[in-house]
């Protein structure tokens, strides 16, 4: 059995294969996932797991140099936006429109679907390096 904290084998596998600047997304249960991206569906029921639980677990395993958020997240879900900023620390934040974010999903190695139902609870994590 793994000694690391992340137990989901699909998510762990994608993260272990990521190189510098590769991207992975975490989204709410309504985010459309393009056919080009692997779908990692964690959603069980409304709110389980939450977006923030999934983000925090992912950040335990993935070195991130930049996050991409929809401008709408900051405007419409301000509390969530502030929580994201707190959790990611000094990581660069790039803001795009929600429509641009959905286009960028096609370039992600995977999109993780949560049970979250907060508007615009979506993020793209760009992999950094540990050296």
Is residue 2 among the annotated active site residues?
no
121 assigned binding-site residue: yes
Q: Cα separation of 88 and 77, whole Å?
A: 17
The answer to whether the annotation marks 90 as part of a ligand binding site is: no
Strands 64-70, 123-127: pairing kind? antiparallel
Q: Are 42 and 116 in contact (CB under 8 A)?
A: no
Q: Is 57 annotated as ligand-binding?
A: no
Residue 35 marked in a binding site: no
Residue 25 annotated as lining a ligand binding site = no
Query: What's the rounded Cα separation, in Å, for the pair 28 and 117?
Result: 6
Q: Spot the catalytic one: 17, 20, 78, 106.
A: 20
Q: Which residues are annotated as a binding site for substrate?
A: 28, 98, 120-122
Q: Which residues are annotated as a binding site?
A: 28, 98, 120-122
Annotated catalytic residues are 20
């Amino acid at each position: 059995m793994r000694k690391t904290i992340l137990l989901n084998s699909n998510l762990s596998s994608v993260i272990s294969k990521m190189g510098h600047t590769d991207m992975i997304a975490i989204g709410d249960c309504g985010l459309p996932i393009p056919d080009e991206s692997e779908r990692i569906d964690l959603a069980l029921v409304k709110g389980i797991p939450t977006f923030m639980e999934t983000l925090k677990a992912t950040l335990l395993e993935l070195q991130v140099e930049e996050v991409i958020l929809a401008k709408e997240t900051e405007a419409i879900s301000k509390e969530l936006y502030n929580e994201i900023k707190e959790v990611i620390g000094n990581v660069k934040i790039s803001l795009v429109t929600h429509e641009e974010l959905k286009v960028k999903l096609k370039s992600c190695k995977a999109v993780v679907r949560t049970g979250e139902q907060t508007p615009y609870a979506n993020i793209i994590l760009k992999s950094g390096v540990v050296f």
